[in-house]
Amino acid sequence: MLFDLIRAVPVALLVGLIPGYFWARLLAATDDLAERLAYAIALSATLVPAVALIFSSVLGTGVTPVISVVSVALVFFAGLAARLVLGTAKGPAGPVAPLPQAPGVAALVPLCLALLLALGTFFGLFGGWAMIPAAVLVVVSGVLYRISLRRGDGRPEEQREDVSPALVYGLLSAALVLALARGYLGPIFNGWPFPRGVDRYEHAIMTSMMAEGGSTESFMLYPPGFHALSAMISNLSGLEPMVLFPALAPALLALMSLSSYALAARLWGRPAGVAAAFLSGPVLGGAYLHFAEARYPNFVGEQVIIIVAVAALIGMYANPTVRAGLLLAVLGSSAVFYHQISGYVMAVLLAVVALFFLPYLLLRHRRTGLALLGSLALLFVLAAAFAWDTYDLPNLVAGIFGDSETGRGGEAVAMAIGTKPANHPTYLLVTITAPVLWLGLLGAMMLAPRRSDDTPARLAHLTLIVWAALLFVGSQTSYSGFPDRFDRDLGAPLALLAAPVLVLLLSAAPRLVPSRTALAVTLAAALLSAGLLVVQTTRNLEEAAGPSERPKDRPATPEVAAAGAWLEENNEGGSIVATPYLDYVPSRGMLAMGGYTKMQSYDYARILRARDLPPFGEGPLLDALWVLKHPTGEKTQRIMQENDVRYIIFHKRYPGISWLPYAQQRDLYEVSYQNPSVVIFEPRDT
């Protein structure tokens, strides 16, 4: 394990951080080192794989080690040269908006009751029904807070710009360490080097395909950003994807905390940034589920790229310069480079900005409006370039506005819309967790814009609220296509909205409290908030160190892993066919462990469901099922010859597909490997 980390981490920094550092200094107007690092990571994750894919396409090769080195060097030295010639970005030194006024006693009393209900639910004293009164109490707290603002009863919060940088970075480091612990405890205690999550297999296959051929088009409709970046790190570290992912994927939780810090610090100052870092990676349930299920492109796109892109958008409101516009255009467009859902969310959010915010800015703040208009136009062009090949944009546009077929992109949308039901609203307690859910809801009400707010602060708060609202709507309808993804991603904006509330509750100064009763209520709110965060984080670490609750998210069984290792040792090209599952490991697990890219096999019910099918459709999937059930016959021989099938792998207890008919055809097949769970047949030469 330690050897894998020693090989992987320096290369990850070389590819995913260093090339973007000077670009961050050039484009991002900030003196905060942590904020700058977040931008550097996001810019590296965008520019480096994009350059590598251009070279790969021009040369007609995969993302090779040479292309990897050249791409990293080109992005790094281009950024260095631009930085030396043009200097660093300049902008306002302080945050975009002040912290809101601290809530008074009237608002804190219902909040304390809601937090007590949350603690009771956490310890099993109440059921899911407690979510309803807790939500009502939080709303009441928010309403009372807004009333107090109108009456001028709120306690003014002192802005503390003199907070020690050492204290800030010390607390931020603690948040990052907790996020790293939450990520690494599971792989360390439950099966290194196999990471958690069933999707790890498909990403390993596509990473290998990207390194070898420069495309994953034949395997799955997926944007190329993550797999190009993974292929580069795999090339330069010498680690296979199945070993690389457990070494680096757990660090994604820390990246989310760093990204959340960057946005909150830019908006409200460093203390709020630290609070957002604690509330995200170590606490959020949805973000951890993305990692635990190995949905790495989802995580990078939705929990890192979008957060930093929204930070760039908020910075644009306060500092409408050409460099700020370029930063927003590059980061906002890269959401489509990593995952479909992140591109979708970014597009809808920016559509709201363009339809409602931009006209106001053009009328009232012309310079900011023109800068934002130019940035959004460039963002659209870059996003179209990123999506052009993946989603077959020419046919998609022609199909939408004409009678022709919409191509791969339209087919992918059609097969997803309305096919997955939304979870019950109480599921939000699992994916978001109580402290973030309730403090985030209160934060949305506290930060709702007022006339006294200046324009950048008003638009920044509206942007966060709209972002959260869009994700909530998407989580509650099957017509979003992926309601489960939306309710997981909802935690990101809620954690940011909760950050200033947490700062206000924990930093309430006794000298500002007018009476003993008020002091008691204020301290109770602070202690309940801190206690809820502590117990939630503790439970998260305990669960992370234990085995996964879902069998399919656990490492492969020893028998299946041994069969995969045998396939890798005896891989001489061609393809394989495996039963749709081997225990809880899908057939893609055999492909990934053996170093193959086809043939995929789904069970018949999943094929009929017609959701998330590979780009080539159901034909090859039905062919694989035919081969598994028919060891002889002209059709079987034709399929095996066309696909160059070298091995047929069975799980001995797979329901509905028996390996015994193959064992009976001794003149056609021989047993090349078997153990108590798996048997592998090899066609005899005829």
Give domain limits for the chain: 167-498, 558-683
Q: What confidence category does residue 2 fall into, taking pLDDT thresholds of 50, 70 and 90?
A: confident
Higher pLDDT, 44 or 433: 44
**Once rounded to an integer, what is the mean pLDDT over residues 184-209?**
83
For helices 252-268 and 285-292, give the axis angle rounded to 10 degrees. Answer: 150
Q: What confidence category does residue 476 fall into, taking pLDDT thresholds of 50, 70 and 90?
A: confident
Least confident of 107-116, 273-282, 341-350, 390-399: 390-399
Residues 6+ apart with CB under 8 A from 29: 89, 90, 91, 92, 315, 319, 321, 323, 324
Using CA atoms, how far residue 234 sits from 42, 191, 207, 230, in Å, is 19, 21, 8, 6
Query: Does residue 89 register a pLDDT over 90?
Result: yes
Instruction: State what percent of residues in the chain have pLDDT above 90.
Output: 69
For 255-270, give one letter per residue: b (16+ CB within 10 A) or e.
bbbbbbbbbbbbbbbb
Read off φ and ψ for residue 581, nearest 5 degrees. -140, 150
- Both tokens assigned to 381: 């062009």
Q: What confidence category does residue 3 fall into, taking pLDDT thresholds of 50, 70 and 90?
A: confident
- Provide the CB-side half-sphere exposure for 330 (13 A, CA): 22
* Amino acid identity for residue 493 in this structure: P
Q: Distance between CA atoms of 313 and 305, rounded to whole angstroms?
A: 12
Nearest to 471 by CA among 348, 331, 637: 348
Q: Distance between CA atoms of 507 and 529, rounded to whole angstroms?
A: 12
- Both tokens assigned to 559: 């028998």
Q: Under DSSP, is residue 495 helix (H, G, I), strand (E, B) or coil? A: helix
pLDDT at 228: 96
Residue 129: exposed, middle, or buried by beta-carbon count in 10 A (0-12, 13-18, 19+)? exposed
Q: What confidence category does residue 397 fall into, taking pLDDT thresholds of 50, 70 and 90?
A: low
**Once rounded to an integer, what is the mean pLDDT over residues 172-197?**
86
- Yes or no: say if 417 and 278 are a contact pair by the CB < 8 Å rule: no
Nearest to 599 by CA among 615, 578, 584: 578
Tell me the pLDDT of the chain averaged across its residues. Answer: 89
Query: Does residue 24 register a pLDDT over 60?
Result: yes
Query: Does residue 323 register a pLDDT over 70?
Result: yes
Instruction: State what percent of residues in the chain have pLDDT above 70.
Output: 92
Q: How, if at all, do strands 575-578 and 645-651 pair?
A: parallel
Using CA atoms, how far residue 53 sits from 71, 305, 437, in Å, is 9, 19, 40
Query: Does residue 403 register a pLDDT over 70?
Result: no
Higher pLDDT, 605 or 309: 309
Query: Does residue 158 register a pLDDT over 60?
Result: no
- Provide the CB-side half-sphere exposure for 345 (13 A, CA): 39
pLDDT at 161: 52
Residue 608: exposed, middle, or buried by beta-carbon count in 10 A (0-12, 13-18, 19+)? exposed
Q: How, if at all, do strands 581-582 and 669-674 pair?
A: unpaired
DSSP class of residue 422 equals P
Span 480-532, pLDDT tens digits = 777 888 999 999 999 999 999 999 998 875 545 567 787 888 889 999 999 99
Least confident of 13-22, 65-74, 207-216: 207-216
**Once rounded to an integer, what is the mean pLDDT over residues 76-99?**
93
Q: Distance between CA atoms of 354 and 662, rounded to whole angstroms?
A: 61
Query: Does residue 153 register a pLDDT over 80?
Result: no
Query: Does residue 620 register a pLDDT over 60?
Result: yes
Q: Distance between CA atoms of 405 and 644, rounded to whole angstroms?
A: 32
Q: Distance between CA atoms of 523 and 96, rounded to whole angstroms?
A: 29
Nearest to 464 by CA among 313, 573, 678: 313
Query: Does residue 105 register a pLDDT over 70?
Result: yes
pLDDT at 511: 47
What's the whole-model pTM score? Answer: 0.93
Neighbour tally for 149: CB within 10 Å: 19
Span 31-40, pLDDT tens digits = 999 999 999 9
Q: Distance between CA atoms of 132 and 137, rounded to whole angstroms?
A: 9
Residues 6+ apart with CB under 8 A from 501: 439, 440, 442, 443, 446
pLDDT at 510: 52
Query: Does residue 615 register a pLDDT over 80?
Result: no
The CATH topology of domain 558-683 is Rossmann fold (3.40.50)
- Both tokens assigned to 522: 């204020």
Span 336-375, pLDDT tens digits = 999 888 999 999 999 999 999 999 999 999 999 999 999 9
**Once rounded to an integer, what is the mean pLDDT over residues 91-117?**
91
